Amino acid sequence: MTNLDRLLDPGTIAIAGLSADLTKHGGRVLGHLRRLGFEGAVWGVHPRVPQIDGVEMFVSIADLPQPPDLVISAVPAAATADVVADAAGVGAVIVFAGGFGESGAEGLALEEHLAEMVATTGTRLLGPNSGGVIRPGQGLAASFLTCLDRPKSEIRSGPVGLVTQSGGSGSYLHNLAAGRGGGLAVSVSTGNEVDIKLGEAIDSVSRLDEVKVILALIETVRDGEVFIDAVKASLARGKPVVACRIGTGVHGRSLMTSHTGAMAAPEAVLQGVLDSQAVVVAETPGEALEVAEMMARVGSPPGGRVGIVTHSGGIAIHLADLSERHGLELSAPGPDLAEALEPLLDHGAANNPLDMGGIIAGAARFAEVVAAFADSGDYDLVLAVSSAHPPHHSEERVGSLLAIETETPILHLWMAGDQARRPLTRLRSAGAPVTEDPRAAIRALAGLSRLASHEVRSPPGPVAGGPEAWGIPFVAGEIVANVDEAVAVAGRLGYPVVLKAVSPGLAHKTEVGGVKVDLGTEEQVRAGFEEIAAATADLDVEGIRVEPFRPGLEVIVGAIFDDRFGPLVSIGLGGVLTELLDDVVFAPSPVDSGDALEMIGRLRGRELFDGYRGTSPADVEGLADLVSVVSRGSVGLGLREIEINPLVWDGEEWVAVDWLWLL
């Protein structure tokens, strides 16, 4: 067993700080372990060796009969270092105490000391400020959280494994799952993450057999590259990841030179990383649990075609709106299904979402229509939406829905209110994927649909050379020293032209008046040259570059090295206006062309590439190839930043108009 295995499945536990006052953290852990039926040995450690029924007590960890798998530190912050020092050589230590890095300079010094200590031993540390580990199926309740104060019968296992940086939020989710008749397979509260961080915890939890989906509550990601590898490994095990971001921070952007760097705020980078790894992102912890539980009960579908059945026109419209917002395509029923539906609909039409138009034909009619959708071959996933209906129909409705025999997964959105509470409980008890939240239902469907098309690819290899050796077309041009040379070059290149100041320290030329575009005459070139010369008189300018004016659809392609996630690539719309439009997508580098196509598809303005108001459709596949080569080239050169801005579709090809790169 590894030390993280010993953390999640310990055979022996020592509670440091276990006193005769069983209302304190140590005593609470002892009570929870006993109530959940933990079968391993539990020892107590306290310098005064109090007498506690049924517990063998010791002065120190060194006096224990053997090194335990897990030590629970239930002592104040000031005494924690002594416990960790004594625990060298054990499997793992959970530190409950707060008062470390979150509390100021003194606490941060204590936290740094803990980090130095565990770095020199084989012992792993969870916390400090951790809510502990709960794994009901193993009787493991190494936690003081109040969710464990429930009756034993309500502390159940379930299909979702939780990794959280917030112990309180974890306790809330245990309560939420228990209140619905379910539970969590395991929860790990990483706290301040002196040692065990989010990514490593996700990887370990995803290895547990009872876990079908990972739910991660994320404040910040400290181990970015480990986190990415852990998500990939979890997906490879058939266990998708659902996340809720419960905090963002400010970090490091002032050091970046390019537009790309300026836009790489922590929340934008994290969102890009999550999207690139097919992580489903929910807005609240409760919604994230709903999504995770539904996905856990469905598994991986063969495709992403979704059909929705309801008997409310308003709800059908609402779900269509949500589907569009979350990128879920709802194709209309095929001709065979449309024909089969005709006798089953009351004033409805064969659309998707389908509004049956009424439920006057009996309680089983709804299930007949759902079954028709599921058996049609038109859809890979079906959402059955039970809105308000006659209460006396509910039991028969649920019975007929549960009796459907089909290989197509059927998810349930139960919007019938408290008149149908017992049938809802019956659905849940049967293990059906069900939620009362329309947004959670659509997020789950969108996540499942994305998983069906997502591939965990091996990263492509780097490319050598600089940008001009990567096969990227660059706009022609010449650097001139005076206005007469500018006019002569403009005449050779052909009007209209662009003038740009050339300076090694000038990243954003437009912001200092160093660019003039669409100059169509000699007079405009002369005036533009003089204006640029005046605006940049105090700068170290090597000359002014004259280029053909290449109007068209503008994008920005860039790459940076992020201190959490390593090399990243980005694509954004708008060229020099990208920061204003805020339409940019990040992903870990390197990416292949398929990954780059997914990135382009996540841009809000994606439809612009299809042609807009008479403009020619852009070569999206060619753009994806360019994004890929920039990502691979930046990794190959070890660049800190590179940016092509703008990269223009001129109706015939993508051409780089300006670029910046920094080692």
* Domain assignment present for 265: no
Average pLDDT, the chain: 92
Q: Once rounded to an integer, what is the mean pLDDT over residues 66-72?
A: 97
Q: pLDDT-derived band of residue 508, with 50, 70 and 90 as boundaries?
A: low
Does residue 42 form part of some domain? yes
Looking at the structure, tell me whether residues 544 and 557 fall in a common domain.
Answer: no
Cα–Cα distance between 72 and 502 in angstroms, integer? 62
pLDDT value of position 540: 85
The pair phi, psi for residue 282, each rounded to 5°, is -105, 165
Nearest CA among 557, 526, 523 for reference residue 639: 557
Q: What is the CATH number of the domain that holds 485?
A: 3.30.1490.20
Q: What is the pLDDT of residues 556-567, one digit of tens each?
A: 999 999 999 999
Residues 584 and 543 in one domain: no
Average pLDDT over residues 112-136: 95
Do 370 and 321 belong together in one domain? yes
In a domain, residue 464? The reply is no
CATH number for position 403? 3.40.50.261
Final residue of a structural domain among 453, 488, 515: 453
CATH number at residue 581: 3.30.470.20
396 and 327 co-located in one domain: yes
* pLDDT interval class at 505 (50, 70, 90): low
Q: What is the DSSP string of 223-240?
A: SHHHHHHHHHHHHHTT--
Q: Are residues 81 and 26 in the same domain?
A: yes
What is the Cα–Cα distance from 422 to 306, expressed in whole angstroms?
28
**pLDDT tens digits, one per residue of 153-175:** 999 999 999 999 999 999 999 99
Give yes or no for residue 657 having a pLDDT over 70. Answer: yes
Among the residue ranges 112-121, 184-193, 506-515, the one predicted with the least confidence is 506-515
Are 37 and 114 found together in one domain?
Answer: yes
Looking up tokens 């493991």 gives 140
Stated length of the chain: 663
Q: Using CA atoms, how far apart are residues 368 and 345, in angstroms rounded to an integer?
A: 10
> Is there a domain that residue 127 lies in?
yes
Please give the backbone phi and psi of residue 441, each rounded to the nearest 5 degrees, phi first. Answer: -60, -45
Residues 468/474, Cβ–Cβ less than 8 Å: yes
Position 62 pLDDT exceeds 70: yes
Query: 454 or 40: whose pLDDT is higher?
Result: 40
**Residue at 51 is within a domain:** yes
The reported pLDDT for the residue numbered 260 is 52
Confidence of residue 131 (pLDDT cuts 50, 70, 90): very high
With cut-offs at 50, 70 and 90, classify the pLDDT of residue 24: very high
pLDDT for 345: 84
Contacts of 13 (CB under 8 A, 6+ apart): 33, 38, 40, 41, 42, 43, 68, 69, 70, 71, 72, 142
pLDDT in tens, 204-213: 999 999 999 9
Within 13 Å of residue 611, how many CA atoms lie on the same side as its CB? 6
Which of 309-318, 547-556, 568-577, 585-594 is predicted least confidently? Answer: 568-577
pLDDT on residue 251 = 43
Average pLDDT over residues 48-67: 95
pLDDT tens-digit profile of 405-423? 999 999 999 998 887 789 9
3-state secondary structure 526-553: HHHHHHHHHHCCCCCCCEEEEEECCCCE
- pLDDT for the residue 263: 52
Q: How far apart are CA 513 and CA 566, in angstroms?
A: 34
Choosing from 453, 486, 518, the residue where a domain stops is 453
- Average pLDDT of 294-299? 95
- 45 shares a domain with 146: yes
Residue-wise pLDDT for 429-479, tens only, equals 999 999 999 999 999 999 999 999 888 778 898 888 777 788 899 999 999
Is residue 141 pLDDT above 80, yes or no? yes
Digit-coded pLDDT (tens) for 301-340: 999 999 999 989 999 999 999 999 999 989 999 999 999 9
Q: What is the pLDDT of residues 237-267, one digit of tens each?
A: 999 999 999 865 444 443 344 445 455 578 8
Q: Is residue 338 part of a domain?
A: yes
Angle (nearest 5°) at CA 639 between 636 and 642? 110
Last residue within a domain, chosen from 421, 453, 485 = 453
Q: What per-residue confidence (pLDDT) applies to 386?
A: 93
Same domain, 440 and 494: no
The yes-or-no verdict on residue 511 having pLDDT over 90 is no
How many angstroms separate the CA atoms of 139 and 52, rounded? Answer: 21
Evaluate the CA torsion angle 251, 256, 260, 262 in order and state its sign.
positive
Give the number of domains in the chain: 4
CA angle, corner 509, sides to 505 and 513, nearest 5? Answer: 125
Q: Quick one: 526 exposed, middle or buried, by C-beta within 10 A (0-12, 13-18, 19+)?
A: middle
Mean pLDDT calculated for residue range 534-541? 89
**Residue 136 shares a structural domain with residue 106:** yes
In a domain, 267, yes or no: no
pLDDT of residue 259: 45
Q: What is the pLDDT of residue 253?
A: 40
Average pLDDT over residues 113-124: 92
Q: Kindly state whether residue 272 falls inside one of the protein's structural domains.
A: no
More confident residue, 262 or 281: 281
Q: Which string of DSSP letters, residue by residue, matches 503-521? A: -TT-S-GGGGT-EEEEE-S
CATH number of the domain that residue 60 is part of: 3.40.50.720
Its domain, for residue 653, covers: 553-662
Token pair in block for residue 224: 């970015």
Provide the pLDDT for residue 466: 74
Of 19, 1, 131, the closest CA to residue 69 belongs to 1
In the prediction, which pLDDT does 121 show? 87
37 and 157 together in one domain: yes
Same domain flag for 155 and 214 = yes
Please state, in angstroms and as integers, the Cα–Cα distance from residue 539 to each residue in 3, 498, 512, 604, 620, following that order.
59, 20, 10, 38, 38
- 557 with 520, same domain? no
